[in-house]
Amino acid sequence: MTNPAPRRFLDPKTPPSVLTLTLLAGISALTMNIFLPSLPSMAAWFDAPYALMQMSVALYLGLSALLQIVIGPISDRFGRRKVVLGALILFLLATIGTLVAPTAEAFLICRMAQAVVAAGMVLSRAIVRDMVSEAEAASMIGYVTMGMSLVPMIGPVIGGFLDEAFGWQASFGLLLVAGFGVTLLCWRDLGETAVLRPVRLADQLRQYPRLLASQRFWGYSLSAALASGCFFAYLGGAPYVGTEIFHLGSAQIGALFALTAVGYAGGNFVAGRYSVRIGMNRMVLLGTAVTTIATALLLMISLAGATTAVSFFGLTLVMGLGNGICLPNANAGILSVRPDLAGTASGLGGALIIGGGAGLAALAGVLLTPGATERPLAVLMFVTSLGSVLAILWVIRRARQIGLPG
Protein backbone atom coordinates (compact mmCIF):
# COMPACT_ATOMS: atom_id res chain seq x y z
CA MET A 1 0.00 0.00 0.00
CA THR A 2 1.47 3.33 -1.04
CA ASN A 3 1.36 6.41 1.09
CA PRO A 4 -0.95 9.17 -0.17
CA ALA A 5 0.73 12.09 -1.85
CA PRO A 6 1.29 15.02 0.50
CA ARG A 7 -1.16 17.87 0.22
CA ARG A 8 0.18 20.64 -1.94
CA PHE A 9 0.03 24.05 -0.32
CA LEU A 10 -1.69 26.73 -2.41
CA ASP A 11 -3.84 24.21 -4.29
CA PRO A 12 -7.39 25.59 -4.88
CA LYS A 13 -8.78 22.05 -5.21
CA THR A 14 -8.02 21.13 -1.61
CA PRO A 15 -9.46 22.27 1.75
CA PRO A 16 -7.73 25.37 3.14
CA SER A 17 -4.86 25.27 5.59
CA VAL A 18 -5.21 26.47 9.17
CA LEU A 19 -3.04 29.45 8.23
CA THR A 20 -5.52 30.54 5.56
CA LEU A 21 -8.50 30.22 7.93
CA THR A 22 -6.60 32.11 10.62
CA LEU A 23 -5.74 35.03 8.35
CA LEU A 24 -9.24 35.07 6.83
CA ALA A 25 -10.81 35.44 10.26
CA GLY A 26 -8.02 37.75 11.35
CA ILE A 27 -8.60 40.37 8.65
CA SER A 28 -12.19 40.67 9.86
CA ALA A 29 -11.08 41.15 13.47
CA LEU A 30 -8.32 43.57 12.47
CA THR A 31 -10.78 45.73 10.55
CA MET A 32 -12.93 46.02 13.64
CA ASN A 33 -10.32 47.44 16.00
CA ILE A 34 -7.13 48.73 14.36
CA PHE A 35 -8.44 52.28 14.01
CA LEU A 36 -9.82 52.69 17.56
CA PRO A 37 -6.83 54.68 18.90
CA SER A 38 -7.31 57.07 15.95
CA LEU A 39 -10.90 58.09 16.75
CA PRO A 40 -9.92 61.46 18.34
CA SER A 41 -7.65 62.42 15.43
CA MET A 42 -10.28 61.29 12.90
CA ALA A 43 -12.83 63.53 14.58
CA ALA A 44 -10.38 66.44 14.31
CA TRP A 45 -9.56 65.65 10.66
CA PHE A 46 -13.20 65.65 9.56
CA ASP A 47 -14.11 68.46 11.97
CA ALA A 48 -16.85 66.21 13.31
CA PRO A 49 -18.09 65.46 16.84
CA TYR A 50 -16.29 62.61 18.57
CA ALA A 51 -19.63 60.87 19.15
CA LEU A 52 -20.24 60.81 15.38
CA MET A 53 -16.91 59.14 14.67
CA GLN A 54 -17.48 56.73 17.54
CA MET A 55 -20.60 55.56 15.68
CA SER A 56 -18.23 53.95 13.16
CA VAL A 57 -17.90 51.11 15.69
CA ALA A 58 -21.62 50.51 16.23
CA LEU A 59 -22.59 51.01 12.57
CA TYR A 60 -19.91 48.58 11.42
CA LEU A 61 -21.06 45.95 13.91
CA GLY A 62 -24.72 46.52 13.06
CA LEU A 63 -24.23 46.01 9.34
CA SER A 64 -22.00 43.01 10.06
CA ALA A 65 -24.90 41.47 11.94
CA LEU A 66 -27.32 42.04 9.05
CA LEU A 67 -24.87 40.64 6.52
CA GLN A 68 -24.28 37.51 8.56
CA ILE A 69 -27.97 36.64 8.27
CA VAL A 70 -27.56 36.10 4.51
CA ILE A 71 -23.86 35.17 4.24
CA GLY A 72 -24.40 31.74 5.78
CA PRO A 73 -27.32 30.65 3.55
CA ILE A 74 -25.65 32.06 0.45
CA SER A 75 -22.51 30.05 1.20
CA ASP A 76 -24.56 26.89 1.81
CA ARG A 77 -26.12 27.37 -1.63
CA PHE A 78 -23.24 28.69 -3.77
CA GLY A 79 -20.18 27.58 -1.81
CA ARG A 80 -17.77 29.02 0.72
CA ARG A 81 -15.08 29.88 -1.82
CA LYS A 82 -17.17 32.13 -4.07
CA VAL A 83 -18.68 34.04 -1.16
CA VAL A 84 -15.33 34.59 0.55
CA LEU A 85 -13.61 35.87 -2.59
CA GLY A 86 -16.52 38.14 -3.52
CA ALA A 87 -16.64 39.61 -0.03
CA LEU A 88 -12.90 40.27 0.02
CA ILE A 89 -13.02 42.13 -3.31
CA LEU A 90 -15.86 44.35 -2.05
CA PHE A 91 -13.88 44.93 1.15
CA LEU A 92 -10.89 46.20 -0.84
CA LEU A 93 -13.10 48.68 -2.73
CA ALA A 94 -14.68 49.91 0.52
CA THR A 95 -11.26 50.38 2.11
CA ILE A 96 -10.13 52.54 -0.78
CA GLY A 97 -13.30 54.57 -0.18
CA THR A 98 -12.37 55.22 3.46
CA LEU A 99 -9.03 56.63 2.35
CA VAL A 100 -10.46 59.09 -0.18
CA ALA A 101 -13.66 60.04 1.68
CA PRO A 102 -14.02 63.87 1.70
CA THR A 103 -16.46 64.08 4.64
CA ALA A 104 -17.26 62.23 7.86
CA GLU A 105 -20.54 61.05 6.36
CA ALA A 106 -18.81 59.61 3.29
CA PHE A 107 -16.26 57.92 5.53
CA LEU A 108 -19.01 56.31 7.62
CA ILE A 109 -20.69 54.94 4.48
CA CYS A 110 -17.45 53.35 3.31
CA ARG A 111 -16.71 52.16 6.83
CA MET A 112 -20.08 50.40 6.94
CA ALA A 113 -19.34 48.83 3.53
CA GLN A 114 -16.16 47.36 5.00
CA ALA A 115 -18.44 45.16 7.15
CA VAL A 116 -18.73 42.75 4.21
CA VAL A 117 -15.45 41.27 5.42
CA ALA A 118 -17.50 39.67 8.21
CA ALA A 119 -17.82 36.80 5.76
CA GLY A 120 -14.33 35.81 6.83
CA MET A 121 -15.33 35.44 10.46
CA VAL A 122 -18.56 33.55 9.69
CA LEU A 123 -17.27 31.21 7.03
CA SER A 124 -13.97 30.33 8.72
CA ARG A 125 -16.08 28.67 11.44
CA ALA A 126 -18.41 27.01 8.92
CA ILE A 127 -15.42 25.70 6.96
CA VAL A 128 -14.01 24.15 10.13
CA ARG A 129 -17.34 22.40 10.71
CA ASP A 130 -17.27 21.20 7.08
CA MET A 131 -13.84 19.67 7.60
CA VAL A 132 -14.02 18.01 11.04
CA SER A 133 -16.48 16.30 13.38
CA GLU A 134 -18.43 18.02 16.14
CA ALA A 135 -16.04 16.64 18.78
CA GLU A 136 -13.07 18.20 17.00
CA ALA A 137 -14.76 21.44 15.91
CA ALA A 138 -14.42 23.31 19.23
CA SER A 139 -10.77 22.33 19.48
CA MET A 140 -9.94 23.39 15.92
CA ILE A 141 -11.93 26.62 16.21
CA GLY A 142 -9.98 27.30 19.40
CA TYR A 143 -6.66 26.92 17.62
CA VAL A 144 -7.80 28.96 14.61
CA THR A 145 -9.07 31.81 16.77
CA MET A 146 -5.98 31.64 18.97
CA GLY A 147 -3.89 32.38 15.91
CA MET A 148 -6.48 34.89 14.72
CA SER A 149 -6.29 36.75 18.01
CA LEU A 150 -2.62 37.51 17.42
CA VAL A 151 -3.67 39.80 14.55
CA PRO A 152 -6.10 42.08 16.46
CA MET A 153 -3.82 41.87 19.49
CA ILE A 154 -1.18 43.93 17.72
CA GLY A 155 -3.71 45.85 15.60
CA PRO A 156 -4.52 48.68 18.03
CA VAL A 157 -0.85 48.89 19.01
CA ILE A 158 0.18 49.35 15.40
CA GLY A 159 -2.80 51.62 14.77
CA GLY A 160 -1.83 53.88 17.66
CA PHE A 161 1.77 54.24 16.47
CA LEU A 162 0.72 54.71 12.85
CA ASP A 163 -1.71 57.43 13.92
CA GLU A 164 0.95 59.36 15.81
CA ALA A 165 3.56 58.91 13.07
CA PHE A 166 1.57 59.25 9.83
CA GLY A 167 -2.06 60.05 10.66
CA TRP A 168 -5.21 57.94 10.85
CA GLN A 169 -5.14 57.09 7.14
CA ALA A 170 -2.13 54.82 7.68
CA SER A 171 -4.25 52.25 9.52
CA PHE A 172 -6.65 51.97 6.60
CA GLY A 173 -3.73 51.79 4.20
CA LEU A 174 -2.47 48.80 6.17
CA LEU A 175 -5.93 47.21 5.94
CA LEU A 176 -5.82 47.65 2.17
CA VAL A 177 -2.45 45.90 1.86
CA ALA A 178 -3.42 43.12 4.29
CA GLY A 179 -6.77 42.62 2.57
CA PHE A 180 -5.09 42.23 -0.79
CA GLY A 181 -2.71 39.63 0.63
CA VAL A 182 -5.53 37.61 2.21
CA THR A 183 -7.54 37.80 -1.02
CA LEU A 184 -4.61 36.38 -2.98
CA LEU A 185 -4.05 33.63 -0.42
CA CYS A 186 -7.72 32.60 -0.43
CA TRP A 187 -7.82 32.59 -4.22
CA ARG A 188 -4.89 30.16 -4.25
CA ASP A 189 -5.62 28.00 -1.20
CA LEU A 190 -9.31 28.10 -0.26
CA GLY A 191 -10.84 25.04 -1.87
CA GLU A 192 -14.56 24.37 -1.66
CA THR A 193 -15.55 22.47 1.51
CA ALA A 194 -19.36 22.72 1.45
CA VAL A 195 -21.58 20.03 -0.04
CA LEU A 196 -23.60 22.21 -2.39
CA ARG A 197 -27.33 21.64 -2.63
CA PRO A 198 -29.68 22.87 -5.40
CA VAL A 199 -31.79 24.94 -3.00
CA ARG A 200 -32.97 28.50 -3.60
CA LEU A 201 -31.85 31.24 -1.22
CA ALA A 202 -35.48 31.81 -0.20
CA ASP A 203 -35.71 28.15 0.79
CA GLN A 204 -32.50 28.52 2.76
CA LEU A 205 -33.88 31.49 4.68
CA ARG A 206 -36.94 29.44 5.53
CA GLN A 207 -34.64 27.20 7.57
CA TYR A 208 -34.21 29.99 10.14
CA PRO A 209 -37.43 29.15 12.04
CA ARG A 210 -36.15 25.61 12.53
CA LEU A 211 -33.03 26.99 14.18
CA LEU A 212 -34.89 29.64 16.14
CA ALA A 213 -37.21 26.98 17.54
CA SER A 214 -34.25 25.22 19.17
CA GLN A 215 -33.71 26.14 22.82
CA ARG A 216 -30.11 24.91 22.58
CA PHE A 217 -29.42 27.21 19.61
CA TRP A 218 -30.77 30.18 21.57
CA GLY A 219 -28.82 29.19 24.66
CA TYR A 220 -25.50 28.90 22.86
CA SER A 221 -26.14 32.09 20.86
CA LEU A 222 -27.12 34.12 23.92
CA SER A 223 -24.18 32.79 25.90
CA ALA A 224 -21.78 33.78 23.12
CA ALA A 225 -23.53 37.11 22.48
CA LEU A 226 -23.56 38.18 26.12
CA ALA A 227 -20.03 36.92 26.86
CA SER A 228 -18.63 38.84 23.92
CA GLY A 229 -21.08 41.68 24.61
CA CYS A 230 -19.00 42.95 27.48
CA PHE A 231 -16.05 43.07 25.07
CA PHE A 232 -18.02 45.00 22.46
CA ALA A 233 -19.21 47.42 25.14
CA TYR A 234 -15.55 47.83 26.07
CA LEU A 235 -14.69 48.55 22.42
CA GLY A 236 -17.33 51.25 22.33
CA GLY A 237 -16.34 52.88 25.61
CA ALA A 238 -12.64 52.28 26.19
CA PRO A 239 -11.36 54.98 23.77
CA TYR A 240 -13.37 57.54 25.77
CA VAL A 241 -12.16 56.14 29.11
CA GLY A 242 -8.54 56.18 27.98
CA THR A 243 -8.66 59.63 26.41
CA GLU A 244 -11.04 61.60 28.64
CA ILE A 245 -10.61 59.96 32.06
CA PHE A 246 -6.99 58.74 32.11
CA HIS A 247 -5.65 61.27 29.53
CA LEU A 248 -3.70 58.69 27.53
CA GLY A 249 -2.29 59.13 24.04
CA SER A 250 -3.18 57.09 20.96
CA ALA A 251 -0.13 54.84 21.21
CA GLN A 252 -0.76 54.16 24.91
CA ILE A 253 -4.41 53.27 24.33
CA GLY A 254 -3.44 51.00 21.46
CA ALA A 255 -0.92 49.16 23.62
CA LEU A 256 -3.47 48.70 26.44
CA PHE A 257 -6.04 47.33 23.99
CA ALA A 258 -3.60 44.49 23.35
CA LEU A 259 -4.06 43.17 26.89
CA THR A 260 -7.55 41.87 26.10
CA ALA A 261 -6.28 40.05 23.03
CA VAL A 262 -3.39 38.52 25.00
CA GLY A 263 -5.93 37.08 27.41
CA TYR A 264 -8.11 35.94 24.50
CA ALA A 265 -5.17 34.11 22.90
CA GLY A 266 -4.49 32.35 26.20
CA GLY A 267 -8.14 31.36 26.50
CA ASN A 268 -8.13 30.03 22.93
CA PHE A 269 -5.12 27.88 23.80
CA VAL A 270 -6.98 26.45 26.80
CA ALA A 271 -10.03 25.81 24.60
CA GLY A 272 -7.99 24.08 21.94
CA ARG A 273 -6.18 21.88 24.47
CA TYR A 274 -8.99 20.88 26.84
CA SER A 275 -12.35 21.21 25.04
CA VAL A 276 -12.50 17.60 23.86
CA ARG A 277 -11.48 16.29 27.30
CA ILE A 278 -13.68 18.49 29.49
CA GLY A 279 -16.66 18.92 27.21
CA MET A 280 -18.11 21.79 25.23
CA ASN A 281 -20.77 22.95 27.70
CA ARG A 282 -18.50 22.86 30.74
CA MET A 283 -15.89 24.90 28.88
CA VAL A 284 -18.49 27.54 28.00
CA LEU A 285 -19.51 27.70 31.66
CA LEU A 286 -15.87 28.02 32.76
CA GLY A 287 -15.20 30.82 30.28
CA THR A 288 -18.30 32.82 31.16
CA ALA A 289 -17.53 32.45 34.89
CA VAL A 290 -13.98 33.78 34.40
CA THR A 291 -15.26 36.78 32.43
CA THR A 292 -17.94 37.52 35.04
CA ILE A 293 -15.39 37.42 37.88
CA ALA A 294 -13.20 39.91 35.99
CA THR A 295 -16.05 42.33 35.32
CA ALA A 296 -17.28 42.00 38.91
CA LEU A 297 -13.85 43.01 40.19
CA LEU A 298 -13.78 45.92 37.77
CA LEU A 299 -17.16 47.11 39.01
CA MET A 300 -16.20 46.79 42.69
CA ILE A 301 -13.03 48.81 42.16
CA SER A 302 -15.06 51.45 40.33
CA LEU A 303 -17.65 51.63 43.12
CA ALA A 304 -14.81 52.09 45.60
CA GLY A 305 -13.51 55.02 43.55
CA ALA A 306 -10.11 53.37 43.16
CA THR A 307 -9.99 52.81 39.42
CA THR A 308 -6.69 53.44 37.65
CA ALA A 309 -5.63 52.89 34.07
CA VAL A 310 -3.74 49.78 35.22
CA SER A 311 -6.72 48.24 37.02
CA PHE A 312 -9.23 49.14 34.30
CA PHE A 313 -7.27 47.88 31.34
CA GLY A 314 -5.47 45.13 33.27
CA LEU A 315 -8.66 43.34 34.25
CA THR A 316 -9.69 43.20 30.60
CA LEU A 317 -6.88 40.67 30.17
CA VAL A 318 -8.86 38.29 32.43
CA MET A 319 -12.04 39.19 30.54
CA GLY A 320 -10.29 38.21 27.32
CA LEU A 321 -9.15 34.93 28.87
CA GLY A 322 -12.74 34.00 29.70
CA ASN A 323 -13.98 34.97 26.24
CA GLY A 324 -11.21 32.93 24.65
CA ILE A 325 -12.37 29.83 26.53
CA CYS A 326 -16.09 30.42 26.01
CA LEU A 327 -16.47 31.56 22.41
CA PRO A 328 -14.88 28.65 20.46
CA ASN A 329 -17.03 26.21 22.41
CA ALA A 330 -20.19 28.31 22.18
CA ASN A 331 -19.68 28.69 18.43
CA ALA A 332 -19.15 24.94 18.09
CA GLY A 333 -22.38 24.49 20.01
CA ILE A 334 -24.25 26.80 17.63
CA LEU A 335 -23.02 24.75 14.68
CA SER A 336 -23.78 21.40 16.33
CA VAL A 337 -27.52 22.03 16.68
CA ARG A 338 -28.05 21.43 12.95
CA PRO A 339 -24.79 20.29 11.27
CA ASP A 340 -26.54 20.16 7.88
CA LEU A 341 -27.13 23.92 8.17
CA ALA A 342 -23.67 24.85 9.43
CA GLY A 343 -23.36 27.95 7.24
CA THR A 344 -26.87 29.11 8.06
CA ALA A 345 -26.37 28.50 11.78
CA SER A 346 -23.01 30.27 11.75
CA GLY A 347 -24.51 33.28 9.97
CA LEU A 348 -27.58 33.56 12.18
CA GLY A 349 -25.61 32.94 15.36
CA GLY A 350 -23.02 35.47 14.26
CA ALA A 351 -25.76 38.00 13.50
CA LEU A 352 -27.13 37.64 17.02
CA ILE A 353 -23.64 37.97 18.50
CA ILE A 354 -22.50 40.93 16.39
CA GLY A 355 -25.92 42.60 16.43
CA GLY A 356 -25.95 42.48 20.22
CA GLY A 357 -22.42 43.81 20.21
CA ALA A 358 -23.43 46.72 17.99
CA GLY A 359 -26.20 47.66 20.38
CA LEU A 360 -23.91 47.43 23.41
CA ALA A 361 -21.16 49.44 21.72
CA ALA A 362 -23.68 52.15 20.88
CA LEU A 363 -25.11 52.01 24.42
CA ALA A 364 -21.63 52.44 25.87
CA GLY A 365 -21.21 55.57 23.78
CA VAL A 366 -24.55 56.92 25.02
CA LEU A 367 -23.74 56.21 28.68
CA LEU A 368 -20.31 57.83 28.55
CA THR A 369 -21.42 61.42 28.17
CA PRO A 370 -18.94 64.26 28.71
CA GLY A 371 -17.89 64.27 32.36
CA ALA A 372 -18.93 60.67 33.01
CA THR A 373 -16.70 58.22 34.87
CA GLU A 374 -15.94 54.65 33.82
CA ARG A 375 -18.64 53.32 36.18
CA PRO A 376 -21.54 53.08 33.66
CA LEU A 377 -19.29 51.04 31.38
CA ALA A 378 -18.26 48.76 34.26
CA VAL A 379 -21.92 48.13 35.15
CA LEU A 380 -22.82 47.36 31.54
CA MET A 381 -19.94 44.90 31.16
CA PHE A 382 -20.79 43.06 34.38
CA VAL A 383 -24.51 42.72 33.63
CA THR A 384 -23.94 41.31 30.14
CA SER A 385 -21.32 38.86 31.36
CA LEU A 386 -23.58 37.61 34.15
CA GLY A 387 -26.28 37.00 31.57
CA SER A 388 -23.90 34.72 29.63
CA VAL A 389 -23.53 32.48 32.70
CA LEU A 390 -27.31 32.15 33.02
CA ALA A 391 -27.60 31.32 29.31
CA ILE A 392 -25.16 28.40 29.39
CA LEU A 393 -26.74 27.05 32.60
CA TRP A 394 -29.99 27.02 30.62
CA VAL A 395 -28.30 24.99 27.86
CA ILE A 396 -26.87 22.50 30.35
CA ARG A 397 -30.29 22.03 31.96
CA ARG A 398 -31.93 21.55 28.56
CA ALA A 399 -29.25 19.08 27.44
CA ARG A 400 -29.84 16.93 30.50
CA GLN A 401 -33.59 16.98 29.87
CA ILE A 402 -33.19 15.53 26.38
CA GLY A 403 -30.41 13.12 27.31
CA LEU A 404 -27.42 14.90 25.76
CA PRO A 405 -24.03 15.28 27.48
CA GLY A 406 -24.16 18.23 29.90
pLDDT digits (tens, 9 = 90+) for 23-59: 888 888 788 878 888 888 888 899 888 778 878 877 8
Cβ atoms within 10 Å, residue 203:
12
pLDDT for residue 292: 96
Mind giving me the DSSP string for 69-125? HHHHHHHHHH-HHHHHHHHHHHHHHHHHHHHH-SSHHHHHHHHHHGGGGHHHHHHHH
**Domain membership flag for residue 6:** no
Q: How many domains is the chain built from?
A: 1
pLDDT at 266 over 80: yes
pLDDT for residue 147: 58
Mean pLDDT of the chain: 82
**Domain membership flag for residue 1:** no
CA gap 165, 27 in Å, rounded: 23
Amino acid at 80: R
pLDDT at 135 over 80: no
8-state DSSP, 288: H
pLDDT at 289 over 90: yes
pLDDT band at 282 (very low <50, low <70, confident <90, very high): very high
pLDDT for residue 283: 93
pLDDT at 4 over 50: no
Amino acid at 234: Y
CA gap 308, 296 in Å, rounded: 16
**Domain membership flag for residue 229:** yes
Q: Would residue 167 be called left, alpha or beta, if left means φ above 0 and alpha means ψ between -120 and 50 degrees?
A: left
- Candidate from 245-249, 264-268, 346-350 with smallest mean pLDDT: 346-350
Find the angle CA(282)-CA(225)-CA(368) to the nearest 5 degrees: 130
CA gap 166, 107 in Å, rounded: 18
Contacts of 391 (CB under 8 A, 6+ apart): 219, 220, 222, 223, 226, 288
pLDDT for residue 151: 67
The better pLDDT of the pair 197, 74 is held by: 74
- Candidate from 283-287, 290-294, 360-364, 374-378 with smallest mean pLDDT: 360-364
**Domain membership flag for residue 61:** yes
**Domain membership flag for residue 351:** yes
**Domain membership flag for residue 9:** no
Q: Express each pLDDT in 295-330 by its tens digit.
A: 999 999 999 999 898 899 999 899 989 998 998 888
pLDDT for residue 294: 94
Average pLDDT, stretch 70-78? 79
Q: Tell me the CB-side half-sphere exposure of residue 15, using CA atoms within 13 A.
A: 13
CA gap 38, 352 in Å, rounded: 28
pLDDT band at 20 (very low <50, low <70, confident <90, very high): confident
**Domain membership flag for residue 126:** yes
8-state DSSP, 370: T
C-alpha dihedral (279, 259, 178, 273), degrees to nearest 10? -20
**Domain membership flag for residue 13:** no
Sign of CA dihedral 74, 80, 86, 88: positive
CA gap 98, 42 in Å, rounded: 11
Specify the CATH number for the domain of residue 370: 1.20.1250.20
Q: Express each pLDDT in 217-253 by its tens digit.
A: 889 989 988 988 888 888 778 888 888 888 888 778 7
pLDDT for residue 285: 95
pLDDT band at 343 (very low <50, low <70, confident <90, very high): low
Q: Express each pLDDT in 63-72 by its tens digit.
A: 887 887 788 7
pLDDT band at 62 (very low <50, low <70, confident <90, very high): confident
Average pLDDT, stretch 7-16? 55
Domain hosting residue 328, numbered range:
18-191+201-401
pLDDT for residue 75: 82
CA gap 68, 52 in Å, rounded: 25
362, containing H or E segment: helix 342-367
Cα–Cα distances in angstroms (integers) from residue 135 to residues 140, 332, 401, in the given order: 10, 9, 21
pLDDT for residue 6: 42
Mind giving me the DSSP string for 8-38? PTT-TTSPPPHHHHHHHHHHHHHHHHTTGGG
pLDDT for residue 351: 75
Cβ atoms within 10 Å, residue 166:
11
Q: Closest by alpha carbon to 59, among 51, 49, 47?
A: 51
pLDDT for residue 299: 95
CA gap 127, 223 in Å, rounded: 22
